C-alpha cells in the first residue's frame, strides 16, 4: 500500500514538473517565429482578479484558482509520463 502511494505521488509530482517546464518553454518561445504555437492555450478556473468571496461576519475568505493550460505544458506532461514509465 505504501509503495503504491509513493508511486502515485511520484507520478503526480512528475506531471506537475513536466507542466511547469513545458509552460516555461512555451513562455520563452512565445515571441519566436517557429515555436509560438507552444504558447497557444487558455485558462480555466475562478479568476484571481475577481475571486469567490465568503463573508462570515468576523471572517472573510477569498477563493481563487486558475489553471493556464498551453500546448507546451501538455507536451511537458506527456514527456514526464513517458519518463516516469521508463524509470
Rounded mean pLDDT, 54-70? 87
The DSSP code for 37 is: G
3-class state of residue 79 by DSSP: helix
User: Does residue 46 belong to any structural domain of this protein?
Assistant: yes
Rounded mean pLDDT, 59-85? 90
3-class state of residue 75 by DSSP: helix
CA–CA gap between residue 81 and residue 85 (Å, rounded): 6
Q: How far apart are the first and last CA of the chain?
A: 20
User: Does residue 35 belong to any structural domain of this protein?
Assistant: yes
Is pLDDT above 80 for 48?
Answer: no
User: Does residue 1 belong to any structural domain of this protein?
Assistant: no
Is pLDDT above 90 for 80?
Answer: yes
pTM of the model: 0.76
User: Does residue 18 belong to any structural domain of this protein?
Assistant: yes
| Structural domain of 54 | 7-86
Angle between helix axes 2-28 and 71-86 (nearest 10 degrees) is 140
Domain count, the chain: 1
User: Does residue 2 belong to any structural domain of this protein?
Assistant: no
User: Does residue 72 belong to any structural domain of this protein?
Assistant: yes
pLDDT of residue 81: 93
Is residue 57 within 8 Å of residue 38, measured between CB atoms?
no
Amino acid at each position: 500500500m505504501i509503495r503504491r502511494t509513493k508511486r502515485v505521488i511520484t507520478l503526480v509530482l512528475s506531471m506537475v514538473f513536466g507542466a511547469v517546464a513545458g509552460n516555461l518553454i512555451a513562455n520563452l518561445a512565445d515571441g519566436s517565429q517557429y515555436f509560438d504555437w507552444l504558447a497557444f492555450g487558455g485558462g480555466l478556473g475562478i479568476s484571481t482578479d475577481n475571486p469567490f468571496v465568503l463573508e462570515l461576519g468576523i471572517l472573510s475568505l477569498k477563493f481563487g484558482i486558475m489553471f493556464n493550460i498551453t500546448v507546451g505544458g501538455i507536451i511537458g506532461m506527456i514527456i514526464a509520463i513517458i519518463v516516469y514509465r521508463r524509470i
